[in-house]
Amino acid sequence: MQITLQSVGRRYNQEWIFRKVDYTFTFGKKYAVLGPNGSGKSTLLKVLSGSLSPSEGKIIYTGRDLTTQIEVETVYQQLSFTAPYVELIEEFTLQEMLDFHFKFKPYFPGFDKDSLIELMGLQKSKDKEIHYFSSGMKQRLKLVLGCCSDSKIVLLDEPTSNLDVEGEQWYLSLVERTSHPERLFIIGSNQEKEYVFCDEKLSILDYK
């Protein structure tokens, strides 16, 4: 499976965020989208997810045999997106949030609700409402919802936001544990510690 960008660009009003992106993301690999704050990394991830349309160019999502195209309107079914600006339902308890999320996405093989709560180290907080969580606890939950859903495409934007040093190591272990030959990880970052495992790097500044 692949995501192919053909001369893709995105602009706001008259300002181009990026232009003429020609690139292919191949399943089984991990990619880093690099650039300083405000350079357009998050915008590119949103375009890849289908939540934003490109202002020019075309994105092609192909299936296992590389001849079957997947419509952009259905890509969300195979995709997880984690970012600091993606909100949780904070009135839910941890257990309620997991139950709700996994009504729409199956668990990644080998996981269930209890194992995810244990993985996050939040056994004592399973019945606590999320708005009482620290920022680090919320970020662990966001990463688990992204990585531990059975999605073919995993987009992680600034994945170690609000994590301490221990949390950063936990994140790296989570990505390793949930990697799969038929899975695609794309990391939006400007910190090497977040993408040290990536196979290829795309610099957004090359497309200004």
Closest of 197, 133, 149, 157 to residue 33, by C-alpha: 157
**Three-state DSSP class for 36?**
coil
Give the C-alpha separation, 75 to 57, whole Å: 18
Per-residue pLDDT tens digits of the chain, which is 208 residues long: 799 999 999 999 889 999 999 999 999 999 999 999 999 999 999 999 999 999 999 999 987 765 677 788 888 889 999 999 999 999 999 999 999 999 999 999 999 999 999 999 999 999 999 999 999 999 999 999 999 999 999 999 999 999 999 999 999 999 999 999 999 999 999 999 999 999 999 999 999 8
∠ at Cα 106 (129, 122), nearest 5°?
Answer: 30
pLDDT recorded at residue 108: 97
Structural domain spans, the chain: 2-207
* Whole-structure pTM value: 0.94
CATH of 2-207, one of 3.40.50.800, 3.40.50.300, 1.20.1300.10, 3.20.20.70: 3.40.50.300
Give the C-alpha separation, 50 to 145, whole Å: 19
pLDDT recorded at residue 63: 78
Indicate the DSSP class of residue 191: -
Indicate the DSSP class of residue 129: B
Closest of 2, 101, 139, 143 to residue 60, by C-alpha: 2
Measured CA distances, 72 to 20, 76, 126, 128, 149 (Å): 20, 8, 35, 37, 20
